[in-house]
Structure 1
Amino acid sequence: MADPASYRPQPGEIPTDPGVYRFRDEFGRVIYVGKAKNLRSRLNSYFANPANLLPKTYAMVHAAASVQWTIVGSELEALQLEYTWIKEFTPRYNLAFRDDKSYPYLAVTLGEDIPRVQVMRGERRKGTRYFGPYTAGAIRETVDTLLRVFPVRTCSAGVLKRAQQSGRPCLLGYIDKCAAPCVGRVSLEEHRQLAEEFCAFMGGEAGRFISDLQSQMAEAAAAQDYERAARLRDDVVALRKVFERNAVVLSEDTSADVFAMHEDELEAAIQVFYVRSGRIRGQRGWVVEKVEDSEPADLLEHLLQQVYGGEETGDDRIPRQVLVPLLPSNSEQLATWLSGMRGARVEVKVPQRGDKAALLETVASNAEQALTLHKSRRAGDITQRSLALRELQEALGLPLPLLRIECYDISHVQGTNVVASMVVVEDGLTKKSEYRRFSITGAAAQDDTASMYDVISRRFRHFLAEQAEAKQRALAAPDFTVQPGEEPVRSKFAYPPNLLVVDGGPPQVAAAVRALQDLGITDVQVVGLAKRLEEVWLPDDEFPVILPRTSQGLYLLQRIRDEAHRFAITFHRSKRGKSMLASLLDDVPGLGEAKRTALLAHFGSVKKLRAASPEELASVRGVGPVLAEAIHRTLLEQAPEPAVNLSTGEIIESSLG
């Protein structure tokens, strides 16, 4: 019996999106399939205190050896995918579906003379339209809501016959939940039209019906028929509620494979959803190493060739459509090749809008999450960490193991609000308690090399000062020991790194080396990691060190560099927001430092301050009505200051080097 802790995902690995999860045993067999509105919350409940688990759940998590999950776009998609995989894998712990029952479908019997709306399970019947599947509670609520707008018959054949013989409708006819064709209240043609409109709404034409009702509501209100307008308003609310709850992913005749990928400089995660008869029948994913200078379209072309090249021909294995995020350069030849293998026409296309485009976004989210998960698990593998540190030590020719690595990054917007970050990795793992951040001003902020020199100088001046202070304490009290309950003296920069990494090329490396030499420090190795080609630069070397693209040492350097960039950007955004807010308030007459600080603390951002009314401004302590009006007027007159990219409209943020 397996210990659930042995395969429990690491904190933060599980996404918070809706999705479907699968527990597998040691032989790879699916033993349980479940769905969740929030995957992280649901899966974490399985790894809680075993004493609090139900007996069946306890047995399942101890029989499993791994857990996997798939992100979907909504709870309804999760419900559909869960049902599909339960039927496909017949997991032994999904006891609720071992008796051949299925989720209920909403069915409209258009093949009958008087169509009927009802809930159906099991095999499909000819002449009947199906929508779903749903949970039992959701389908009853859906039908009850729609009947107020589309009062289609829902009674059984016996009830219908008795009503026709007696000339009296059933209860639903009396409360206007049925148009009562049984007693001639509407003709059979009018009732069939209602049934067809019901099907059209459920088939995705909700917008048309909602717009028509809104127009009728406006006309009724203009004619001062407020009672009818109120009824129509309630109908609109009801239709919107049903439409949002029961959005259908794809039509029943959809047969497609949906591909998406997410990539970085070295690897790409690829996901594919197999859709048959409008439902997701399966999923597959890969993480592949990229060939140097390969384009995404080329990668996608090779992927399609490998996926379908070894497949058996036939309609079941190759679908009518292959949906991709971008077209390969030879998409027409690929489509011809696939059509020949399938024996029928195959389209290779990029969905632009609608349900298929939304599904492609869902697959892309899975690809992004898969690459993130792959990286985090590789970083947490002690074997991979040890290999990465050893490869890096050998490639750089260092005599000592890399116990501590520090990485520095500079961030700014066009030379303003310049900041730097320092991240620390010990034994291959990030140590966030040792992270530091620096504000850079004056001459040091004029360019990236000056900023790098300033940051390295400040960091190691602190180190030398703390080292000298520690020696003085040791000389003053050689037998000093920390007493129980007494806090030891904590140093912020006590430990020097074995390797110092800067984000950039030769200029940044030279600046860091010069800063260390000026302080008399010679036992710290400096390297630079350039982003363009991911080459490693050593001091005074004409050519860079090129690590293999599959090198664990290169993966480690990239991970450290990306973390330094993230930490620097976070600090820069915070500082930029505060400086923008302060500069906006500089021109307000009568606004001193204390009141400006109070405004900054109260609103916290430029956006909130600009959106505040004079009354809201006056609620800040020390700000009266007159001053609030002056602040409000000044903010309206001033335009936002940050630079923007003219092609994308985004704020320009750069990480120098």
Structure 2
Amino acid sequence: MADPSSYRPRPGQIPESPGVYKFRDEHRRVIYVGKAKSLRPRLSSYFQDLANLHPRTRTMVTTAASVEWTVVSTEVEALQLEYSWIKEFDPRFNVKYRDDKSYPSLAVTLNEEYPRVQVMRGPKKKGVRYFGPYGHAWAIRETVDLMLRVFPVRTCSAGVFKRSAQIGRPCLLGYIGKCAAPCVGRVTAEEHRELAEDFCDFMAGRTGTYLKRIEQQMMIAAEDMDYERAARLRDDIGALKRALEKNAVVFNDATDADLIAVAEDELEAAVQIFHVRGGRVRGQRGWVTDKVENVDTAGLVEHALQQLYGDEQGDTVPKEVLVPALPEDTPAVNQWLTGRRGSNVSLRIPQRGDKKDLMATVQRNAMQALVLHKTKRASDLTTRSRALEEIAEALGLDGAPLRIECFDISHLQGDDVVASMVVFEDGLPRKSEYRRFEIKGRVGDTQVWHAEGQDDVRSMHEVIARRFRRYLQAKEKTGDWVAGGEVPEQDADDDGRPKRFAYPPQLVVVDGGQPQVAAAKRALDELGIDDVAVCGLAKRLEEVWLPDEDDPVVLPRSSEGLYLLQRVRDEAHRFAITYQRNKRAKRFRAGPLDEVPGLGETRKQALLKHFGSVKKLRSATIDQICEVPGIGRKTAETVAATLAAAAPAAPAVNMATGEIIEDDEETAPAAAPSQNGGTTHDREPQHPRH
């Protein structure tokens, strides 16, 4: 625990200008980012008597080892810089909202030549128009199915679209009138884009004008006695109205607004957001966060606004944002939102009428989400804490291992030897810090064994040595920066990639028994590291091995500590197996197809999958070869000529096993055999407690 007075800035050193500040721990890791109208009083408040600080603030300042700040011109610049730094550094003591579920959105890929309508999850992409999010993917598909009757926009994948263009036949939707079939030239790219833009306009709430236009077209068709077209337009109107009925009407006017509500207690907070477009609820989403910093409702609202609109531009930011409490710097936040939208945005608290009633509904949803989340998480939080305490007690550690790193070795009969490193912090996986290694039998510049003598113990020694040598290098550079008075934002490796391995764990777990543990401990001793604990988890009996101990530590099968170690070990298994399989797939040879110039692995696999064997491919015509997705006529002619010239035909060889693949055999990579001794095998992890 650090003493805040040891890094407190000197009197008069902190400016009174607006700015953004960062607290870093002893490993130079950013643990908190904040902003202030005036830096001097805000930062001075952190260095008062510890007894007067909020418990979470006290934990933060005692964890930190230094503080830095950056002066900006305006409060809006401070807001933008704070958001950028929180997104870049992911500080552990900042409020970080996480979705309580993955919400799908209706996306229109306007960045493509032929825009596509699809269900999309995850981060938003540039040039794609989004609507939602929706509560369920099936709700989107029902809406799209109704609207494709009127707006027959492409919904197929790139592969299906390309294949239809090659064979000159549309897919089923093209035959039944729910796709304009631009793949076969029924409409031009410009006409198809107009359909996609009309689809977007309708989804954005501009429905009245479009419905009136179709009704007028229906009346004109009826007057011209074109009753078939009039009936079709009548059915189109009915389909659009049914699609509209799926969204609840909340306002009589065409209001575009987002309503944000917060439910909180001393430890956690839940945020619910209703997206209203054209007076209808178009989407809903929710976030939950641990209140790791001392923040009130206004602060939670400000953080929610940053996360919700930080990456948004244009119409995705509504004209009106309704909140339960205004942020501390309301004018700056309002100006920031206006800049994101490009026009004026109203940020206010609803006082009366329909908007206040809807805000009450959103608030009830937030309260229910918090209750549901606490019901799910209560036992989980308690279990994780108990698991870490049990591990610390069983291994004789001074404190709970808040950061655990697990290493695993994977290979196939000595080939493609790889290793994985997974990281768990506070009992949860931190996937951004996972790493993988290709074992080459070297530690530094020294060859430690020949290729034919590779084994798990020596591989474990190499990977531990490499990981912690990088840590010592990063630590040495950090010391040089501090001594020189320079604090760069980001160290970089020689190849320009971001720094790695900069933070040490409290516990290293290796997959295996006593030999693997001894190898890991020896690697740490050689580097002079004596403040990192090491243990191993053997598969057969789930025994925990410690260095220099003849007998293992046997944790009860019902132990939460053992279960956490198993989860960590199994995650390392999964990560190593994935990497090893990828390397194994790259070693696959397809026989004479390797001689075809310009033919990559993807198209080789596509040819073999389509025809089943090289023998059948050799007897195929050029037109039949062209039917394979991704194979054009010129490539098909080259393939046919190369196979015809190959005499005798070279057999396909699986380079992972060295076995010859007969023409009519499957060409999938061989499965890894079962082995012992702490090696990752090609199987799924098993949990004894399930």
- TM-score bucket (shorter structure): 0.3 to 0.5
Larger relative contact order, structure 1 or 2 (CA cutoff 8 Å, min sep 6): 2
The TM-score normalised by the length of structure 1 is 0.37
The TM-score normalised by the length of structure 2 is 0.36
- The structure with the larger Rg is 1
